[in-house]
C-alpha cells in the first residue's frame, strides 16, 4: 500500500499520508516519497496550491517509534536506505525542513499532529484543524530530539515560553489552544478540515500564480531580515510580476467584470 497518495483536482494537489494503521507515522521510505512529491509539485506548472492531510482521521504522529525499535512494517525501507547513501538529505526535505515547494501548502489536520507530524505542519503555510485535533512535540519523553525543524520553528511561530513548555515537558495541546496561540489559522468541526482546506486551496489557486509564489517566497525567506533587507529581497519579484501578462489580465478582468484567466506568465 502506498504510504503517500496524491490526487490533483484542477490546480490543487492533495497529498495524503497513508499509514492509518499506525496513525500515519513516518518511515524512511515515506519521507523519501514525500521529498519527491514536493519537488514534483514545485516543477509542475499545473499545480498552484497543495493540500497536505492524513488518512482516516489522523494527520501524522511523527516517526514510527515501533520502526525505530525494529518493527518497521516498511516494505520499501531497503530502497530508502540505499537512497540515503547518495542522498542523505531527503528525509529533511520530506519533512519540509530544508526545502519547501514554491507553491503554498495548506494543512488539513484531524486527530494527531505529534512530534514529526507537528514538525511537518510547521513547514506549511495555511493550517486548518478539526476541533478534536491534538498537537505536541513529545520527543524528549523518549530521549529523542525534534530534529525535523521543530525546536527552531515552534519557538518562532508561537510565544517562546509556550514553545519551551511544550517541548521540554512533551505535553500535548488541543485545537482550541493551538488556534489561540496562532499555531493553526482555522478551527472547524471534526471531519471538516480537508473540505475546508481544499476550499482555501481553490481560492489560492484562482489567484495569479506568479504573485502567489512570490508572496510565499518573501514570507518564507524574510522573517529574520531587517525591513530594509526584506524590501531589497522582494524587489526583483515585484518588478517581474508587474511586467507579466498576468498583471495585465488581472486589472483588465476587473474592469470588464469577469473572472480573470491567469497563465503564469
Choose, from 56, 131, 139, 256, the residue flagged as catalytic.
Answer: 139
Choose, from 119, 195, 213, 256, the residue flagged as catalytic.
Answer: 119
Q: What is the DSSP string of the chain?
A: --SEEEEEETTEEEEEE--GGGTT-B-HHHHHHHHHHHHHHHH-TT--EEEEEESTT--B--B-HHHHTT----TTHHHHHHHHHH-TTHHHHHTTSS---SS-EEEEE-SEEETHHHHHHHT-SEEEEETT-EEE--GGGGT---TTTHHHHHHHHS-HHHHHHHHHH---EEHHHHHHHTS-SEEE-TT-HHHHHHHHHHHHHTS-HHHHHHHHHHHHHSTTS-HHHHHHHHHHHHHHHHTSHHHHHHHHHHHTTS-------
Is 119 an annotated catalytic residue?
yes
Is 227 an annotated catalytic residue?
no
> Is-contact 204 104, C-beta < 8 A?
yes
Q: Which residues are catalytic?
A: 119, 139
Amino acid at each position: 500500500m502506498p504510504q503517500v497518495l496524491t490526487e490533483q483536482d484542477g490546480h490543487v494537489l492533495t497529498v495524503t499520508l497513508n499509514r492509518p494503521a499506525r496513525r500515519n507515522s513516518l518511515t524512511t521510505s515515506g519521507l523519501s516519497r514525500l521529498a519527491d512529491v514536493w519537488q514534483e509539485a514545485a516543477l509542475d506548472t499545473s499545480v498552484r496550491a497543495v493540500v497536505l492531510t492524513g488518512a482516516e482521521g489522523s494527520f501524522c504522529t511523527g516517526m514510527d517509534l515501533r520502526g525505530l525499535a525494529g518493527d518497521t512494517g516498511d516494505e520499501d525501507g531497503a530502497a530508502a536506505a540505499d537512497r540515503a547513501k547518495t542522498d542523505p538529505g531527503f528525509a529533511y526535505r520530506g519533512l519540509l525542513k530544508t526545502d519547501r515547494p514554491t507553491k503554498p501548502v495548506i494543512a488539513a489536520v484531524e486527530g494527531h499532529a505529534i512530534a514529526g507530524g507537528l514538525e511537518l505542519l510547521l513547514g506549511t503555510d495555511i493550517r486548518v484543524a478539526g476541533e478534536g485535533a491534538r498537537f505536541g512535540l513529545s520527543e524528549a519523553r523518549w530521549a529523542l530530539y525534534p530534529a525535523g525543524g521543530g525546536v527552531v520553528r515552534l519557538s518562532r511561530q508561537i510565544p517562546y515560553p509556550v514553545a519551551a513548555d511544550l517541548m521540554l515537558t512533551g505535553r500535548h495541546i488541543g485545537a482550541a489552544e493551538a488556534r489561540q496561540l496562532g499555531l493553526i489559522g482555522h478551527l472547524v468541526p471534526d471531519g471538516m478540515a480537508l473540505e475546508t482546506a481544499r476550499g482555501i486551496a481553490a481560492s489560492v489557486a484562482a489567484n495569479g500564480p506568479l504573485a502567489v509564489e512570490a508572496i510565499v517566497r518573501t514570507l518564507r525567506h524574510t522573517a529574520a531580515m531587517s525591513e530594509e533587507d526584506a524590501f531589497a529581497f522582494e524587489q526583483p519579484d515585484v518588478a517581474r510580476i508587474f511586467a507579466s501578462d498576468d498583471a495585465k489580465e488581472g486589472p483588465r478582468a476587473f474592469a470588464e467584470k469577469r473572472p480573470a484567466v491567469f497563465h503564469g506568465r
